[in-house]
Structure 1
Amino acid sequence: MERRSFLRGAVIGTSAAALGGTLWRGAAVAAPAQPGAGPYGALRAADANGILLPNGFSSRVVARSGQRVGSTSYTWHSAPDGGACYVDGTGWIYVSNSEINPSGGTSAVRFSSTGAITGAYRILSATRQNCAGGTTPWQTWLSCEEVDRGYVYETDPWGVKPAVRRDAMGRFKHEATAADPVRKVIYLTEDVTDGCFYRFTPTTWGDLSAGRLEALKMGSGTSGPVTWGVVSDPSGASASTRGQVSGAKRFNGGEGCYYADDTCWFTTKGDNRVWQFNAAAQTIELAYDDSLVSGGGAPLTGVDNVTGTASGDLYVAEDGGSMEICLITPADVVAPFLRISGQSGSEITGPAFSPDGTRLYFSSQRGTSGSSSGGITYEVTGPFRA
């Protein structure tokens, strides 16, 4: 399958501060990404935290489920999942969902300009199995329930404003969202084997209380032009949202979702694919497919959460696989960036970069115990390329 490679820039955090993204543009048609040498070299032996990293990078544990965060009085939630970073004065905030049912919700950790933990607190409670979500340009976190007829909740990373349920964004098995400030829409993924890829157009940009929900439509295959069909009953009361649009494209287990520079990347775990939706041209293609890796030995399986950097690199976390975060470069090379050892019963969740791009946060959802109560949230620092 062919695809056209587009610009891979990034908007990091919910401050919507663009950190570049004009370093590379591929005009040639290319096959989906293939294995190769990553920009940071080979992985070293596991460090004291059991993480294999390239030379020059180091890790630390930020939080553990059931334990207090740093010197705060706040106890970190179980099953940490999707996350994001936000500018907070000279420091930043990392938010993290809790994928447990019942309870769920979202917590936050506040960092100083030096990376010291200065606070931790709850920003969403009494929800169900909050898996992933996404940021908005107006600095809120959309926390998604991964249950049948689940909701999207708009939350305040600072924990000042109460969370608001956004019914107009549909009731289905939500996974992740990504905001497109150019077309003023929110893209959404659905974690079922015959799920849809949605877009939500608010009646007023910046206000998610009302709007239009649509599902992507296209012909057979994995590339080509797309159209959209309206989901007439977003509540799913009359029929499932994915069953309301004739000709809707089916995706096998929608997972992570990330937007930058007219492109929305999203992953499907059921077939280990990374999709590339060109919002300007209204076309879709494959950025990665493990079944199309030359010579076998795909480095990226169990594709899940995804984020990106100003350099144009995509970072894709594995649910299972080799417990790696792999990167896909603008040159369409896929390579491991890190690996967690001794935690085969877990999955990697919530990758997100600090606003300055020098720190990567993520979690091992079930840690060494294989239980949701054993989650571990990490930080990796090092010479990430700008």
Structure 2
Amino acid sequence: MSSLFHNYARRPLSIVKGQGTVVEDDSGKSYLDFTSGIAVTNLGHSHPAIIDVLHRQSEKLWHISNLFDSPEQEKLADALVSDSPLSHAFFCNSGTEANEAAIKLARKHTKKSVIITCEQSFHGRTFGAMSATGQEKIKQGFGPLLESFRHVPFNQLDALEEAVDETVAAIMIEVIQGEGGVHVINKAFAEKVQSICHDKDILLIIDEVQTGISRTGSRYAFEQFELEPDIVTLAKGLGNGFPIGAMLGSAKLFDSFGPGTHGTTFGGNPLAVSVAQKVTELAFDPSFIQQVNDKGTLLKELVSPLLNNSSVKEIRGTGLLLGIELTSEVSSIVKQAEQAGLLLVPAGSHVIRLLPPLTVTREELISASTILNDLILSKVSIDS
């Protein structure tokens, strides 16, 4: 009997080390990791520059609390808000915490309580973030949740317009719904969201927990659309595996988050900040971002022949966040891929999500796509 709660459907596989895109289990078998810890290790496993900065910081200071000024937090905040509609940052430990902070800030600033989110969205598992999430399976068994969230179908303009009234504080969206099936916002919906927020003085919150830190081929996914968020939430790739989250906000929100309004014991600690500084330095470099775009284009090309099969409905996504939707459940393919040396993660029951490190090589992309294409084609042959 395990001493752990069984709240995770764990695979019977113990990963003990990794380097770049390759990880190894406790039996010595190697795998191409196309999960990246679910969009976390954007710069790959055991990146030498990140190991170095963490080691150096560990010998200086681990924790001092947010009772004191932090020049290093200031530097990281500057890097995150540079050349964006955002001006200030709050640091925490996870995406869920970042979204909780965003919800609190939106309600406090506007003095309104309703926040519009989308069906199939995922914003976290604490009560506020879970209430914001548009997936019923996440909420089952927990009793009444917060009532001040309205969920509308993603990319449906009429439903969005109907949900807006004078009680709405904010619209909260993901530009790409990662957990919800890798669905990308369309241009018309993005424009409608922005125009409603502008015309009705409603805040726009963009959840970039999975899509941020160059995952989609730009620093933030919203930069690929005509969107000017008031709040952006980050985590996952920001620390490349070291826990850190961030909520970024525009200048007009500054006075609404004064002393005592929100806080965290561990958020923005020196270890996390040192890692995130190095991550942003590397991941926000324009030449690196161009490489992500090139690799994303190549990956789409490598898996695009699957569209010739009736079992593959669609391939969606941007950069190195792709989803392959099948007509049947993907659990068996994920398991077979693991046996073949490729780690995958689904996005719902019918979508295979591809999340390689942004440092993945061309050869690794070819190897992984060959395994995946062969598995899907063989499944089609068997099923037919």
Instruction: Please give the range of the TM-score, normalised by the shorter of the 2 chains.
Output: under 0.3
> Who wins on radius of gyration, i.e. which is larger?
2
TM-score when scaled to structure 2? 0.24
Higher helix share: 2
Q: Which has the higher contact order (CA 8 A, sep 6+)?
A: 2
